[in-house]
Amino acid sequence: MLIGDILLAQNLVTPEDIKIALHRQKENGGRLGENLVALGALTQEQLDRAVYEAPRAPKTIEDTGIPSSNLLRILFKLIYVNSLETSSEMSAAIKLPLGVVNRLIQEAGDRKFLESLGNVDNSTFSETRYVMTETGKRYAIESLEQNQYVGPAPVSLNAYQARINQQKITNERVSQDKIEDSFKNLIIAEDFVRRLGPGINAGKSILLYGPPGNGKTTVAEKVADIFANVIYIPYCFEVDGQIIKVFDPAIHKPRFGAFSMEKMKNAGLRREEFDGRWVPCERPVVITGGELTLEMLDLSFNAHAKYYEAPLHVKASNGTFIIDDFGRQLVSPEDLLNRWIVPLESRIDYLKLHTGKSFSLPFDELVIFSTNLSPDDLMDPAFLRRIPYKLETVGPTREQYFEIFKMVGASRGLEITADIMEIVIEELQVNNSFDLACYQPKFIVEQIIAACKYQGSDPYISKELVVDALKNLYTSSAKGAGKTSAKGLNKSDLPKSAVAVV
């Protein structure tokens, strides 16, 4: 990971800026960052901040924070599984600088694990090829029996704890303009956004509650997408010799730059290396629903592979953790809240290895509870006090409903008139006693589009199509059931983009 990658990941420069700076660097020398500053692509302050925030590459084995014996085992597993021969291949696989890898190779040579096969010529430089001895192969197999983790070297627990604290979610101020811009395509009460803003910046837990289909999930996802800072996620970390994997491609979105280390190396340019064991990523977002169990919030030990997977909330560190449909999980609300009552209060979580060893991690994430059940039925007063921001999402007024309907219709080429609106109101409220909900316009429009596709016609709207669509909104047994939009509806069937204008 190089300074160009870091600056691109943080959107401080463009690929074109890098190209121009690389050309200037060839002519004038110096570091890439210095040339970017000289060209006016960024300020010295911005460069210094980017360099300070990024984890620096270790210069010695001691700097890694991991015992050399553990690093050597990981290296030999990589060599054995991937048939690595040169120090540069080993460096790329274990994500440690060449200087550190060469020291490990020297140690392996002293122990008769590796032997040299001579040099191999690349386009710009020559490297020594290595092969494992029989003793080295036995060492690699023994290391795989100890645990089957094969990947980048871990970071230390101390380094991971310090990194979480360094890149806290509260370090990023989210301005009022940015929040309002994020919600500009939603029809939503002005006071709701005004109250939501302080909760986002506080980094404390937020409770979104109210009847189904009025945008709780949409709001939670919008909040998660507001954050823009780049943070650094380790591939894994080590505790008492145990490997705990953190980086998850399904959750973490890397922000690698466009210029790889190989391109820079081939260009023969002076490099500024950063620790490749950390991946620059967007702030993570984890969304869980009814599938959430208590086990998912504890370390997961793979008895066959003999290493751990970090729990969901650890993978969400420095990001957002959304518990959707709170109260409908496999785990009871009381058990879930008891599990998190200490982390939410003290901002520290305690985890335990299967060996009995316990350790702590900073609990830094914006936790959002979203439910259509009564909060008083889910939480006792003591826990409600620990959720400082409680926002209710309510159904739209007739004016808001009409506005949503018109905007959703326009996005699909349909003109929603006042007459169509009256048909919907009569069918929903007069004939069937349903409340208006924000998700309904999108549901109706999609039903109409599907009906037109079935007929083989261009999209159009009529009373018949609207009534047919509304009949799919509820079951016959729900008619006249009283003023509740929840009757006859399954929450899992409601569109997630309830109030979003698509």
Is the pLDDT confidence value at 252 over 90? Answer: yes
Q: Which amino acid makes up residue 184?
A: K
Token pair 């780049």 in the structure block, residue: 230
Least Cα distance to 166 among 158, 155, 174, 178 occurs for: 158
Q: What pLDDT was estimated at residue 11?
A: 74
Q: For 195-199, which contacts have Cβ atoms below 8 Å and span 24 or more sequence positions?
A: 195/389, 195/391, 196/223, 196/389, 196/391, 198/389, 199/388, 199/389, 199/391
**Which tokens in the block code for residue 14?**
């463009």
Give every strand in the sheet of 307-309, ordered side by side: 155-156, 236-239, 242-245, 307-309, 300-302
Q: Where does the pLDDT of residue 125 fall: very low under 50, low under 70, confident under 90, or very high at 90 and above?
A: low
Is the pLDDT confidence value at 258 over 50? Answer: no
The mean-pLDDT minimum among 250-259, 328-337, 452-461 falls in 250-259
Burial of 24 (0-12, 13-18, 19+ CB in 10 A): middle
- Report how far apart, in Å, the C-alpha atoms of 255 and of each of 8, 272, 276, 282, 348 are: 8, 18, 13, 7, 28
- Residue 492 is given by DSSP the state G
Q: How many residues does the chain have?
A: 502
Cβ neighbours for 262, distance < 8 A, ≥ 6 positions apart: none
Q: What pLDDT was estimated at residue 488?
A: 36
Is the pLDDT confidence value at 332 over 70? Answer: yes
Query: What one-character-per-residue DSSP string does 273-330 give?
Result: BB-TTEEEEEPPEEEE-TT--GGGGS-EEETTTTEEE--HHHHTTTSEEEETTTT-SS
Q: What pLDDT was estimated at residue 221?
A: 85
Q: For 372-413, write each residue's pLDDT tens digit.
A: 888 888 888 888 888 889 998 888 888 988 999 999 999 999
**End-to-end CA distance of the chain, in Å?**
38
Token pair 């490749």 in the structure block, residue: 276
pTM: 0.80
**Which tokens in the block code for residue 80?**
């054995």
Q: For 195-217, write each residue's pLDDT tens digit.
A: 888 989 988 899 999 888 888 88
Q: For 74-102, write each residue's pLDDT tens digit.
A: 999 999 999 999 999 999 999 999 999 99
